[in-house]
Structure 1
Amino acid sequence: MLSGGESVGTSSDDGDTFSFESFNLARNKLCFEDGTFSAIEIVTKSICDAREWQETLQLVPVAGLTTTISSRQAPTPQVPIDATCHVDAAWDATSGTCGLGGLFSGSHPASRLPQISESRTLVSSALMAEALAVRLAVMNAAFSNIKSLMILSDSLSLIKLLKGNESRPALFGILFDIYHFSSYFDVLSFCFIPRLQNFEADLVAKLALSHAVVIPSLAGV
C-alpha cells in the first residue's frame, strides 16, 4: 500500500493499464526476491517499466502507412546540392512586360551557368512573371545536366504553389512545364527567402525589364 496519498499516472490508456500491472509485478518481484522494499522503490520500478513499454509502443510500425519523398521536397543531407539559383522578376503592369533574373551558384562545375537576364511580353501579373523566372531557371539547369537544384525566390505565393504541387488557371502552362522538368532532377527544391536576401536577382530582373521597355520606345522615335 502507498503511504502519504502518493499516486501514479500516465498520459495514455495503454500506459495506465501497463502501469498498474507493472506495479504489481514489481512489488511481487521485489518482495519474493529480497525481502521488504519501500513503497517508493516499488513505485519507481513500476514507472521505469511503464516508460519502457510506452517507448516500445512508439517504435512499432503502423500497418498501411508509407512515407514517400517527392523530388520537389527539400533535399536531405545524403544528396548534395549541385547548384542553387536565386530568381526574381520585375513586372510592368502598363506594358505587360517583365524582366527575369536568375543567378546560379554552387561548387559543382555544372553550376557555373551564365546569369538569367531575359524579358517577356504579354504577362498578366507579377505572379506569372515570377513563375516564368522559375521555369527558365529550372529549364536551364535541366539542359545543363544538373541533377540537384535549389530554387530560391522571394515570392511566397509561388513557393507555396510549387511546394504543394498546385496550379492556377492563368499559370497552368508555366507550372506544368516546371513540374515536367522536375523529373530531370534527383532533387529539386523550392525555398522562400526574404527580399533583402534576393537583391542581386532583383537587380538583374529590373535591368532586363528596363532594356525591354526602353528599347522599343527608342525604336519608335
Structure 2
Amino acid sequence: MMIMPRELWLDTKALRAALEWEQAQPTIFPTIQRGKHLSPPTAPQPNTILCNTDGAWKAESRQAGTGWIFTTPTGAITRDGKAHHNVSSALMAEALAVRDALMHASALGFTSIWLRSDAQALTKAILSNQGPTELHGILSDIASISSSFDFCVFSSVSRVLNGPADQIAKAHLVLANVSAAH
C-alpha cells in the first residue's frame, strides 16, 4: 500500500473524476434539421435570411466578442453582437456567435436562415453532429434552436468575405474587456 499526502490524494481523485466524466460524455450530438438541404444550396430559398457570424477571443482574459449580420432578400441589413466572459477557446467563441445569431433570428421571427461562418472546424462539427466535448452544450443549443426554423442551413464562408462580422465581433471583444475591468 502506498501512502501519499492528503492534497495529492485529493488532486488524484479529482483528476480521475474529471477523466471519468469526460469519457462518459457522448460524442454524437442531436441531429440538426436543415430543411430540405443537407449541403448549402447554390441560391437561397425565397425569404431566406443570410447570416454571417464571427467570434473574436482573447486567451489572456478569456473574453470573447461575437458578431453577426442578417441580410434579408430585399437587402435590408441588421447587425448585432454580444460580449462574453470565461470563454475557453476561439472555437467556443465562434460557436457562441452562431448560437447568439440563431437566438436573435428566432426572436425576430425569421423562419428561413442560412448561417455562414469562417470557422470551418465549427461548421464541420455542426454538420456532422460531432465536436469537442467543450462545445457539447453550445452545439446542443444550436441543434435545438435551429430545429425551430422551417429552413436552416450551415456553411463555411471565406474570412475575406466575413470582414464585417469580424469587425462586430472584435468591437464586442473590446466591450467584454472593458466591462471586465470595471
Check whether TM > 0.5.
yes
Given that 1:75 and 1:187 are in contact with CA atoms closer than 8 Å, whether structure 2 keeps it comes out as no
SS at match of 2:104: helix
**Structure 1 length-normalised TM:** 0.61
Once the two structures are superposed, the pairs formed by residues 169-208 of structure 1 within 5 Å of their partners are 169-208=133-172
Tell me whether 1:80 sits opposite 2:46 in the alignment: yes
SS at match of 1:116: strand
Larger RCO (CA under 8 A, 6+ residues apart):
2
SS at match of 1:145: coil
Q: Offset at 1:77?
A: 6.0
Question: After the TM superposition, which segments of 4 or more aligned residues of structure 1 sit over 4 Å from their partners?
Answer: 75-78
Deviations 1:157-183 (A, max 9, x none): 001111112232111110101101122
Tell me whether 1:103 sits opposite 2:60 in the alignment: no
Given that 1:75 and 1:188 are in contact with CA atoms closer than 8 Å, whether structure 2 keeps it comes out as no
Deviations 1:129-181 (A, max 9, x none): 00000001111112222111011111010011111122321111101011011
Correspondence for 2:20? none
The alignment-based identity, stated in percent, is 36
Correspondence for 1:93? 59
C-alpha distance 216-166 of structure 1, shift in aligned 2 (>3 A): closer
RMSD: 2.2
Q: Offset at 1:78?
A: 8.7
**Which amino acid in the other structure matches residue 64 of structure 2?**
C
Report which of the two has the higher share of strand.
2
Tell me whether 1:145 sits opposite 2:109 in the alignment: yes
Unaligned runs of 5+ in 1: 1-68
Higher alpha-carbon Rg: 1
SS at match of 1:196: helix
* Aligned residue pair count: 148
